[in-house]
Amino acid sequence: MQIRALMYFDELVRTKSMRQAAENLGVAPTAVSRQIENLEEHFGAALVERSTRGVTLTAAGELLAARAGRTLRELEHVQQLIEDLKGIARGKVTIYANGAIVTSLLAPALSQFSNSYPNIRFEVMITSARQAIEAVNAAQADMALTLFAPPMSEAKVVTRFEIAYDVIVSARHAAAGRKEITLRELARDTLALPEKSFGFRQSFDALIERQGLTIDPVFTVSSLEMLKELVLSDSAVTLLPALAVRREIEAGQLAAIPLSSETSIRTHAELSIAPDRQLSFAASKLIGFIENFMRTKLKSR
């Protein structure tokens, strides 16, 4: 069985179209069909069913699909490790991330790191915390940078830093100069909050319930960037890590006010990897760099 056949099959699984898979691979549809037939002959079972509506997987095809992608990713990883043995500082690092600090923490870290290692390439996927950890476990990602990650024992946390959520207001807001604000006061203001699939929103709703309060956010959005824009336009207040809006705070556009200590919301920024997977030169160097970068940025608040 050839690696090429697995590559063609993996692309077919992803696109569910012989024509689209061929187009993505830069080959003729007959070439994809021939490689699928080679796989079916090798395994002695039909892997796909073809119809005018496209391609569907058989039970045997589903079984192979669940493993083919990981096998190809592991082979790519081995190739990277072999390059490392040759002393070549190149390769690709795949990072899955979530949370309000991705732009303000990960982007500048990657920018600085790339200056030192210009031959390394980066692929960054923004997902939920659970999807990020699952990607590490499935060898789809070299590392995950998460906030409010669910407990998933398979991943190994290599570094963890505490993150506090502050009330973020416009610099023109009446509370902008306050030293702290209570949850009860916040509940009376015009709130913009992330929608309920966000880990922060779930923690915030639980805190509100424990305090016996009710909230009626005027804006519920799925974009953290939109939360910031609503505050900048004096339309609402929100809660974010001050680090996520540091640029706007330093420019005098926004202010961060801590919640009173008894109702503070804290989580951890966690950098995780698969415990049983050897890191490439590029990934191991990047992990050390991000760890130092996080320590410097979060301590300088």
Per-residue pLDDT of the chain (301 residues; tens, 9 = 90+): 577 787 888 888 888 888 888 888 888 888 888 888 888 888 888 888 877 677 888 888 888 887 777 776 766 766 666 666 555 556 788 999 987 777 778 889 999 999 988 888 899 999 888 899 988 888 889 999 998 887 766 788 988 888 899 999 999 999 998 999 999 999 999 999 999 988 899 999 999 999 999 999 999 998 888 999 999 999 999 999 998 898 899 999 999 999 987 788 888 889 999 887 778 878 888 998 998 888 887 664 4
| CB of 290 closer than 8 Å to CB of 282 | no
Two tokens, residue 298: 């979060």
Alpha carbon of residue 232 to chain centroid: 26
| CA 128, 134, 140, 141 torsion-angle sign | positive
Query: What is the spatial distance between Cα 30 and Cα 11, in angstroms, rounded to a whole number?
Result: 14
Query: What is the spatial distance between Cα 256 and Cα 249, in angstroms, rounded to a whole number?
Result: 8
The architecture (CATH level 2) of 162-266 comes to 3-Layer(aba) Sandwich (3.40)
Per-domain residue ranges for the chain? 3-80, 83-161+268-299, 162-266
Q: What is the CATH number of domain 3-80?
A: 1.10.10.10
The architecture (CATH level 2) of 83-161+268-299 comes to 3-Layer(aba) Sandwich (3.40)
